[in-house]
Amino acid sequence: MIFPYRAKNPPENFPIVTIVLIVLNIAIFAATSDGWMIREDIAHLWGLKSTNIGQGTMFTSMFLHADWFHLLGNMWFLYLFGFAVEGKLKWLKFIILYLAAGVGGDLLYMAMASGGSGDIPGIGASGAIMGLLGASLWMFPHGKINVFYWFGIVWIGVWEWPIWGAALYYLGLDVIGAMLQLSLFDGGGTNHLAHIGGALGGFLCALLLRVKRDDEYVSEAKSTLAEAKDLSMLTRIQLRDMCSVQPDDSLLAHHWMYKSQQSPPVTDECIQHFMKHLPNIVREGDGASAAACVAGLIDQGTVFDNKVLLDCAGAAEKSGATSPAIKLLTTIRNSQHATSDDLETATFRLASIYEQWMNNPHKALELFQEYQHRWPMSPMESVVRQKISVLTQKVQQAPRNPY
């Protein structure tokens, strides 16, 4: 017996629909069972049979389960594969795939087994959930799964399987089970035909939705992330691979640039990806680290828009990172393409940093005097005049070096 207990494939987005489905299935079972098993009248009314196929039972049957074992087994597999699939598809495409896989499983079941099981209602989410396994087979075939195995009392242990191996194992069992059921005209027990139909439906849906597949390198990077739970533990190459399949993730772009600067080279691809995400990184991420990355790129000759540099410097100031902030503001002051407004803002903020953070009244006074000379009609003129007065007194009262 083999039981998967962990998927090393972190979701790319928060899997809200999967969580809602798990809660909904549990709530429905609690409302439709006698405490242990589903009520027979509910199963016959809302389960799928050849006599009620046109009454919406293809959908209602997906949310019914025979007993607690049936429910918990399905919910475990829904969690195991649903998080990663929804994380890549996002919620709307995930709902479409989930329902389509469930209907696909029901259609195959009704087409091939209805003659021998017309009065036995088909219930359970397993067709839809096997659709998630089928989708996983297309989207991340090399994704890692930890499985626990036991055969008798001698051969017991754990090992790591690729998703394609798990898919072949479970689909192989279902093919054998379906052949036995069809040959014996047995419509009870596990609905193997629904499993097969669901898996095929999920695989085809993922194919039609043109979902980008994770290659072996991306899967290895995700496996490392699942273990470390820290993007800083990934290598520059792994972060590049992750960015290739998650191009909209600003945090990944930030870590890729940071790691590239720590372990060169910094490629043009990395620079372009970082600059694309820089506004989001500054707004939502670590301002000090982002400013340090930008300062490092400036040293390498990368040219940034002065508005971007002002935003980065502001984020660095808020984080107390004065060195990169000074670097960026000085770059603006030295830029031949800076507007008068950019120069005015950079000069005032640089003077304020030297006054408030660096405790350097001489440099602050020099910059405020420059500001007063260049922009005498500025709305900040009265503030600057007051600062010059205070700083002049500080400079005059400072002890002189006798040497």
Q: Is residue 140 a part of any domain in this protein?
A: yes
CA dist 38 and 43 (Å) reads 7
Residues 307, 343, single domain; the answer is no
pLDDT band at 117 (very low <50, low <70, confident <90, very high): low
Q: How far apart are the first and last CA of the chain?
A: 85
On the 0-12 / 13-18 / 19+ scale of CB atoms within 10 A, 186 is middle
Residues 27, 171, single domain; the answer is yes
Residues 103, 135, single domain; the answer is yes
Question: Among residues 191, 208, 225, which one ends one of the domains?
Answer: 208
CA dist 314 and 320 (Å) reads 10
**Cis before 265? omega within 30:** yes
pLDDT band at 215 (very low <50, low <70, confident <90, very high): very high
Higher pLDDT, 119 or 44: 44
Question: Among residues 280, 315, 350, which one ends one of the domains?
Answer: 315
Q: Is residue 127 a part of any domain in this protein?
A: yes
Residues 186, 82, single domain; the answer is yes
pLDDT tens for each residue of 302-330: 999 999 999 999 999 998 999 999 999 99
Q: Give yes or no for residue 181 having a pLDDT over 60.
A: yes
Residues 79, 202, single domain; the answer is yes
Question: Among residues 264, 280, 315, which one ends one of the domains?
Answer: 315
Q: Is residue 331 a part of any domain in this protein?
A: no
Q: Is residue 324 a part of any domain in this protein?
A: no
Q: What is the pLDDT of residue 185?
A: 65
Residues 196, 250, single domain; the answer is no
Residues 106, 147, single domain; the answer is yes
Assign residue 115 the CATH number of its domain: 1.20.1540.10
Q: Is residue 216 a part of any domain in this protein?
A: no
Residues 67, 191, single domain; the answer is yes
Residues 270, 197, single domain; the answer is no
Domain that holds residue 393: 339-398
Residues 148, 19, single domain; the answer is yes
Structurally, the chain folds into a number of domains equal to 3
Q: Give yes or no for residue 172 having a pLDDT over 80.
A: yes
Mean pLDDT, range 38-48, rounded to an integer: 94
pLDDT band at 216 (very low <50, low <70, confident <90, very high): very high
Residues 71, 193, single domain; the answer is yes
Q: What is the pLDDT of residue 35?
A: 85
Q: Give yes or no for residue 400 having a pLDDT over 80.
A: no
Mean pLDDT, range 331-346, rounded to an integer: 96
Query: Taking all residues of the chain, what is their mean pLDDT, rounded to a whole number?
Result: 93
DSSP notation for 333-399: HH-TT--HHHHHHHHHHHHHHHHHTS--HHHHHHHHHHHHHH-TT-TTHHHHHHHHHHHHHHHHHSP
Q: What is the pLDDT of residue 116?
A: 46
Q: Give yes or no for residue 155 having a pLDDT over 80.
A: no
Q: What is the pLDDT of residue 50?
A: 80
Residues 194, 343, single domain; the answer is no
Q: Is residue 326 a part of any domain in this protein?
A: no
Other Cβ atoms less than 10 A from the Cβ of 327: the count is 21
Q: Is residue 110 a part of any domain in this protein?
A: yes
Percentage above 70 pLDDT, the chain: 96
pTM for this predicted structure: 0.85
Q: What is the pLDDT of residue 287?
A: 86
Q: Is residue 178 a part of any domain in this protein?
A: yes
